[in-house]
Amino acid sequence: MSTKITLTTSFRLTLMVYVVPFFSLFHPAVHSAEEQPAADEDQEIERIAVTGSRIRRPGAISTSPILSMDAEEIAYLQEPEVEKILRYLPSTAPGDGSNVNNGSAGAATVDLRGLGPERTLVLMDGRRMVPFNYDGQVDTATVPTALIDRIDVVTGGASAVYGSDAIAGAVNFIMKEDFQGVALEYTHSQTGDSDGDKDNLSLTLGSSLDDDRGNVAVSLSWMERKPILLGDRALGQLGIETESGANYEQFLAGEPPVLPVEGCRGPNVVESGGSTTSMPTRFAIVGGGAAAAGQFREDRTLGTECSQFNFNPFNYYQTPQERYSATALAHYYINDETKVYTSATFTNVTVDQQVAPSGTFGQAFDLPLANPFIGDQAQQFMIDAGNNALANDLLTTEGAGANWQDINGNGVVDSEDYLLVQLRRRTLELGARTERFDNDQFQLVVGVEGVLYEDWEYDVSFMYGEANRVTIRDGYTNLTNIQNALDSTDGETCANGDATCVPIDLFGGFGTITPEMAGYARAVALQTQKYDQEVIQMIINGPVDFIEIPWADEPLSLSIGYEHRQETGSLTPDECLKLAPSSCQGGAGGNLQPISGGYKADEYFFEGILPVFNGQFLAESLDVEFGYRAADYDSVGSVDTWKFGVTWRPIEDILIRVMQQSATRAPNVGEIASPVVTGLDNAALDPCSVANAANIDQRLRDLCISTGMTDAQVGQVQDFISGQANTIEGSDPDNLPGAEEADTFTFGVVWTSDWVKDWSISVDYYDIDIEDVIGEFTLQQILDSCYDGGVASECAKINRIGGDLTVSGSGIDQFTTNLNYQRVEGVEIGVNFGVGLNDWGELQFSAIVNKYLTQESKASDLAPVIDCLGTFGTQCDPAPELNWTQRTTWIWNDLTVSALWRHLDSVDIDATVYDDTFSAFRTMDSVDYIDLVASYYWGDNLKFTLGVDNVFEEDPPVVGGEAGDTTFNNGNTFPSTYDVLGRIYKFGVKLEF
């Protein structure tokens, strides 16, 4: 094999030496400029721009820390999913992706520094990628991996350069500009359990045009990812309770979960460690207190609560996906000074999500006690429970809390009456709940760049992108129809007179729901989403020759630009999903309402780099960098951002860089245009429920009553189900959020030397402090502020029905607003060097180490600081203080062998729930993963690759199913943070000519 090094490549490699802050994991040797062949004096020097700046100048370096990962490092990973590639980096936290099931949007997002995907700007060749939904997040599954030349990740804010959203930084996918030839590549991976297959096939064609005046490249790809259920792994086969540790011993012993008592069983029914929406049906009179609750038996009698439903095995550890992608890139020099360019991408991505079968989930139903499917004993139980509640002032026929219809007006509960009841029946007869996300995404860029005058250049471009998504939900119960079907006194007809209504039997064990009943009780729902983005951009840049400091040999470089951006997003749910308060679907987590909104922004910006010293004593070079951006939004008005930084090279081998920036993020479409709907969110405990009855004193009792409870209901209502409470959420039209602002500071030192081959070590400090954070108060914050702090404004957000927070229509106000602050601070270290082995080739060593110093947030002046550093819980996804990746590579002729070491430090449970967490689950120990890969070139055109991830099959930590939020705490662990699939074998073959 031969390597051709052009002048442009020389500058690019020089850039990688001096820019990379925590050096890259890439394979190719990195050389300094002095090691490259000298250019002819009359050869034109190409000006280049680096990610994080639009200024084009020879040998450009960045003042902000940048990590670059090139195509060869990507090839080592043998991973066709960009989200998983980026997840290897210590600078990222898990976003949505293949290991997110319940809570997934069917996309793959990137989250820099754990500040949220909405604060990471995703670019392709320095231009925005179109978001996939109204929350403004980009689906990285649409990135054409076969055409990636490198990935640049800039930390510390980049809003002055790229505009809104670059609070945490930016991820820039640089495409191959001059691909020539044919590349056919196939990769396959499979777990050691012979499942979870992932296949990827790509074909890339490229050719120069008109004697190298241009180039055109086309890439086509297909990928399929097979599912892995929780039930396919021992850890996911049963539900483990975080608080009590129930079923943990069974897991350790390899035993199945404990079965409930005889007569209270069914498929996947267990004694504990599951959902109270179980089988047979659980029953409770709304607002009737703990004594008015029980559970049916298979013989239709009604007694004490006796079982739960193990929902785990139905869920996915790895969601299935199929992806088709087509990308075309082209450019052409019309003359020596003018280039036209274009790119077009189209991607279709289909992702399936699956959770346990649907049910009635505590929905409140008006139940006639004369329903013939209710057995005699159960009917009498209900009558007695109703009269007991009546005697304790827990039953009423009037007002918003009415829970009884006294049909015959005799003042007592009897068989002719109706009770408002919660029924919790798992409807296995309908099959699993599924959600299919089908996304089409298209993006087109056209532009022209060239020489404006002498050394001044221009770049004018237009970008249009759109995402169209259809989501189909199936397997859910139709709660409206179930209400109709329950209102029957003969078991054959419904009281509403609808001939299509089939009375339903929820009052026995598995199988009481016949296919005819299931057909009427089933709901399939559909929603569509669309997002459009248009960007017009005009930039000029060049040297200002009359501004040059005498001690420097280069004048001020300046970039000036204008950008017009228009973004619109919409959501259109069908009538079922619109139905208040929780849609017609049981277990859908709430209802949806149409969203239609957008915004326009006009932005003016400039950047400058002023060389101050060059070739002076203790100042081989010293540059000052500055920038300013003014934006006018029709949604939030005017915002501005700026940056100021210095790069100083006191001697040739040492580079010192400092950057202070102001960054901003305007609210996205979803944050300013979402109507008020219901939903679900995580919460630990209802302080007014029976679960906390022993701790309710007079002060707490008074606060509970202030939130809509009667004195008799306090300490009697049920606690939250599966750690989730109802929410009332959306944009508050009277108090829309404003833009959030951030101050970011970075300071770094880079040492490069030729005393060891490719030697580079960098240390970078970063501090990102965000104010007016756009978000929502957590439910636990609201509950604590009310019931612990006695804050009346927070108590007003709690809306109970019958004293309960689990009944449809109840909930806690959780509107999008501006919170106080969020801050992340840390140090990142990068090391890179090589060692020659004479006839045995060479060793290459690289490492990235990230140490977080601060990870905290505060919702309001009255709320406590949430410290996530080194912790996990419902308020913090796992945030190890220390993590690193280290790669060692041996290259010998056509053979390459490489090992990647991934380390995550231990994390402890959030201190606020320490006492409520099973002792074995209070700490997740540090983990170390070793991945191996070997590649071999067979001749000049064929390359084979074999790899094994998680060689030693490190097991994920066990913490139960309520240790974190539902999105990331799945299958008794955190599958987006830790490897849950076991050992993975990989194979790849690539043909190039």
**For 658, how many CA atoms within 13 A lie in the half-sphere containing its CB?**
7
Mean pLDDT (the chain, rounded): 91
Q: Which tokens belong to 541?
A: 């840049």
Confidence of residue 939 (pLDDT cuts 50, 70, 90): very high
Half-sphere exposure (Cβ direction) of 384: Cα atoms closer than 13 Å? 11
Structure-model confidence comparison of residues 32 and 973, the more confident one: 973
Residue 177 backbone class (left: φ over 0; alpha: ψ -120 to 50; beta: rest): alpha
For 217, phi and psi rounded to 5 degrees? -140, 140
- The tens digit of pLDDT for each residue in 189-207 reads 999 999 999 999 999 999 9
Cα radius of gyration rounded to whole Å, the chain: 31
Peptide bond into 550 cis (omega under 30): no
Contact 719, 689 (CB under 8 A): yes
Paired tokens of 744 = 């970011």
Residue-level pLDDT at 773: 96
Predicted confidence band of residue 369 (pLDDT cuts 50, 70, 90): very high
What's the confidence (pLDDT) of residue 48? 52
Q: Is the pLDDT of residue 1 over 90?
A: no
pLDDT at 26 over 60: no
> Tell me, what's the pLDDT at 802?
86
Query: What CA–CA distance (Å, rounded) separates 170 from 126?
Result: 10
What per-residue confidence (pLDDT) applies to 61?
65
Digit-coded pLDDT (tens) for 321-338 = 999 999 999 999 999 999
**Confidence at 702, pLDDT banded by 50, 70, 90:** very high
Identify whether the C-beta of residue 485 lies closer than 8 Å to the C-beta of residue 373: no
pLDDT of 114: 94
Residue 980 DSSP SS3: coil
pLDDT reading at 954 higher than 70: yes
Q: Using one digit for the tens of pLDDT, what is the confidence trace for 557-592?
A: 999 999 999 999 999 999 999 998 888 998 888 899
Q: How many residues does the chain have?
A: 993
* Token pair for 157: 């804010």
The band of 975, judged by pLDDT with boundaries at 50, 70 and 90, is very high
* Strand duo 882-892 + 148-155: pairing: unpaired
Structure confidence at residue 32 (pLDDT): 30
Among 198-207, 722-731, 845-854, 975-984, which is the least confidently predicted range?
722-731
Beta-carbon contacts of residue 694 (< 8 Å; ≥ 6 apart) = none
* Residue 408: count of CB within 10 angstroms of its CB: 10
Name the pLDDT band for 25 (thresholds 50, 70, 90).
very low
Greatest Cα pair distance in the chain: 106
CA distance 845 to 830: 11
Q: Is the pLDDT of residue 36 over 50?
A: no
Q: Are 847 and 22 in contact (CB under 8 A)?
A: no
Average pLDDT over residues 264-275: 95
**pLDDT band, residue 732 (cuts 50/70/90):** confident
Q: Is the pLDDT of residue 534 over 60?
A: yes
What is the CB neighbour count within 10 angstroms for residue 62? 23
Q: What is the pLDDT of residue 53?
A: 66
Per-residue pLDDT, averaged over 384-391, amounts to: 96
Integer Cα distance of 370 and 358 in angstroms: 26
Of the given ranges (453-467, 475-489, 802-816), which has the lowest mean pLDDT? 802-816
Helix (H) or strand (E) holding 84: helix 82-87
Question: Contact 664/162 with Cβ under 8 angstroms?
Answer: no
Residue 683: per-residue pLDDT: 86
Closest to 461 measured CA to CA, from 127, 956, 833: 127
Give 830: exposed, middle or buried? Use CB within 10 Å, 0-12, 13-18, 19+. buried
pLDDT at residue 7, as a whole number: 29
In the chain, the amino acid numbered 779 is: L
Average pLDDT on 508-513 reads 95
CB contact set of 788 (below 8 Å; sequence gap of 6+)? 687
Q: Report, as an integer, the average pLDDT of 114-141.
A: 94
Torsions phi, psi of 396, nearest 5? -150, 155
Using the structure block, give the residue that is written with the tokens 């992340």. 824
| pLDDT score at 271 | 94
Show the tokens assigned to 375: 């057995």
Residue 984 is which amino acid? I
pLDDT, position 56: 58
How far apart are alpha carbons 569 and 789 in whole angstroms?
Answer: 39
Cα distances from 369 to residues 97, 420, 503, 844, 901, in angstroms, run 47, 10, 14, 77, 64
Q: Provide mean pLDDT across the span 662-689.
A: 91
What is residue 23's predicted lDDT score, i.e. its pLDDT? Answer: 30
Segment 608-655, tens digit of pLDDT: 999 999 999 999 999 999 999 999 999 999 999 999 999 999 999 999
Question: What pTM value is reported for the model?
Answer: 0.90
Residue whose structure tokens are 């798992």: 426
CB 818 within 8 A of CB 774: yes
Residue where the block lists tokens 């701790």: 695
Tell me the percentage of the chain whose pLDDT exceeds 70: 94
Q: Supply φ then ψ for residue 32, to 5 degrees.
A: -80, 165
Q: For residue 141, is pLDDT > 50?
A: yes
Under the banding of pLDDT at 50, 70 and 90, the label for residue 685 is confident
